[in-house]
Amino acid sequence: MAKAKVLVTGIIPEQGLTGLQNTFNVTYSPDKPFSREWVLEHLHEYDGLLLMGLKADKELIDAGTNLKIITANGVGFDHIDIDYAQERGIVVANAPQGVRIPTAEMTIALMLATVRHLHEYDKIVRSGNWVDVSEPKYMGMSLGGKTLGVFGMGRIGSTVGEFAQVLGMKVIYNDVHQLDADLEKKLNVKYVDFNTLVKESDVITLHAPSLPSTEGKFNSDVFKQMKDTAYIINAARGSLIKQNDLIDALKNDIIAGAGLDVYETEPNVPESLRELDNVIMSPHAGTGTLGARIAIAEEASGNLISLLKDGKAKNMVNKVTKYMD
C-alpha cells in the first residue's frame, strides 16, 4: 500500500518532523518556505497538510481535493476556515500542549520587563546616559502582593497563574466558563466577572482565542476602567486589543504600560506604538525557542500520523462526524 503524502509549509525544525518522515512521504523545504502559489498548484497531490505561515481559506482548501487533515503548527487555528473544512470532510487539528510552557514563559518575561521599565532603562543606558531611580517617574512596580487578572484560564492562562504566584501575586480570572471548585482550589485562583477583573487587576494578561466575542474586547472603554497604574500583557492574539485605543491609553497615561508579543496589524507595527517608552514588544515570539518548536512540530506530526495511519483524530477542533466518538 502506498504511503500517504504530507506537505509541510513554513520554517519548522526538521528534528520535529522525524516521526512524520519515517511514516509518510513528506514534502518539506527547510530553507525556503513554499509560496502560496506553489501550494495552490500542488496541494491536490497530498493527503495531509502541516500548516505554518499560510492561510487555509476556502481557496486553499478547495485546492486540496484529496486532503483528509490540516493541522496547525501551534494552538491557534484562526487562520484556517474550520467550518468550510468541516463541510469538505477535512479534519482540522491543532497542537495545544507544546505551546503552553514557552508562551507562559514569554508572558512572564513581558510582564517583568514591562512593570520594571526595562525598555526605558535599556534605552537610557545604551544612549550613554544615567538616571536616578529614586525619582518616582523612573520607578517600576513590584509584583509581590499585586493582583494578576487572567483573561482566558485555559492551559496557558493557568500556567501563567502558577508562575505569577511564585512571584507573590494574587490571581483572579475571567473566562466563558468558570472552572470547577476543586480545580480553582488546586490552582489557587478566583473567578470574577469581566468588569471586576478590569477594575481590580494590577496586571491583566490575555490568553483567550480570537473569536467574534473576544475581538476588540480590550478597547478604550475598558482601558478607562483599569487602574491608571495597571499594565496589560498580550501574548495571545493581536485582535483581542483595539490597537489604536491602546496607543491612546498609553500616550495619555490612562494605563501605565503594555507588554506585547502580538498585534492587531502584525507584522506591521505602527510607528505611533513603536515610539512609546511605556510598551515593550516582541515579534510574535512566544514559542520562539528551538525546544518549543521541536515539541510543537512533533505534536502536529502526531495529529497527522494518528489520522492518516490509524484513522483516529487527535486534537480535532472542528467536527468531522466520521472521526467523532
d(CA 158, CA 286): 16
Spell out the residues 6+ positions from residue 28 whose beta carbon is closer than 8 angstroms to its own. Answer: 7, 8, 12, 14, 17, 21
Q: Are 237 and 266 in contact (CB under 8 A)?
A: no
- Which grid cell sits at 134? 529614586
Partner residues linked to 8 by β-bridges: 28, 50
d(CA 296, CA 299): 5
d(CA 144, CA 86): 47
- Which grid cell sits at 300? 502536529
Amino acid residing at 62: D
Amino acid residing at 245: D
- For 192-289, where are the alpha helices, taking DSSP H only? 194-200, 220-225, 243-251, 271-274
Give the H or E element holding residue 49: strand 48-51
- For 82-178, where are the alpha helices, taking DSSP H only? 82-87, 100-115, 118-126, 155-166
**Residues with catalytic annotation?**
237, 266, 284
Q: Are 133 and 139 in contact (CB under 8 A)?
A: yes
